[in-house]
Amino acid sequence: MSFRSILLAAALLLINSCGFEPLYKKKAGSDTVKDDLAQVEILNVRDKINYNDRLGQVLKNLLLDRFNTYGRPQTPFYKLDIKLQSTKTELGFNIVDEATRAKLTLNAQYILSESKTNAVLFRGSSRSINSYNIISSDFATLSAEKNALNRATREIADDITLRLSTFFHNLRRG
């Protein structure tokens, strides 16, 4: 028996003994985390500082793709309210005091509540920091900034999905 196979067997035993359970595992006759996520209505998202509706729309669409794979729920049990805040900081100045690098920070504050009672079930926040180069071409700089915004938005959507999935998983476990 090789060292790798012994190490693999030991790792599998440790994972089983620690209570590891897949987050999206479907048990016979029970709902899953995916079913809970499918019951979430995502309210319109707006950037609090720049009033960038497009950024909020992109985040909402990313979350809809992750939560509601079979379409929006007819009567959602939960609602998710998200407030975005984006800031851009110029860094790395050259000899003539022009910025050569920028840091883009995207913060999201969100609240999950019941649709009927408005009772708050979960509060959270997510942050993504991305940077990009500022060069002499305006088009290239704009393209790099847009790419950084898209990366940040995807990271926020992934983080919100993971945190809410963990919340629903823990809720089911009791």
- Tell whether 2 is covered by a domain: no
Give pLDDT tens digits for 113-134.
999 999 999 999 999 999 888 8
Tell me, what's the pLDDT at 3?
A: 76
- Tell whether 101 is covered by a domain: yes
Tell me, what's the pLDDT at 29?
A: 42
CB contact set of 1 (below 8 Å; sequence gap of 6+):
none
Tell me, what's the pLDDT at 137?
A: 84
Give the C-alpha distances (Å, rounded to integers) separating 45 from 35, 54, 84, 134.
23, 9, 7, 28
- Tell whether 163 is covered by a domain: yes
Residues of the chain where predicted confidence (pLDDT) is lower than 50: 28-30
Give pLDDT tens digits for 15-41.
665 555 555 555 544 468 888 888 999
Tell me, what's the pLDDT at 24?
A: 56
- In the three-class reduction of DSSP (H, G, I as helix; E, B as strand; rest coil), residue 111 is classed as strand
What is residue 40's DSSP assignment?
A: E
- Tell whether 20 is covered by a domain: no
Tell me, what's the pLDDT at 22?
A: 59
Tell me, what's the pLDDT at 111?
A: 95
Tell me, what's the pLDDT at 68?
A: 85
- Tell whether 18 is covered by a domain: no
CB contact set of 121 (below 8 Å; sequence gap of 6+):
78, 112, 113, 114, 167
Which range marks the domain in which residue 53 is found?
A: 31-173
- Tell whether 9 is covered by a domain: no
- Tell whether 51 is covered by a domain: yes
Q: What is the pTM of this model?
A: 0.78
Tell me, what's the pLDDT at 82?
A: 93
Tell me, what's the pLDDT at 28?
A: 43
Give the CATH number for residue 137: 3.30.160.150
- Tell whether 25 is covered by a domain: no
The structural domain count of the chain equals 1
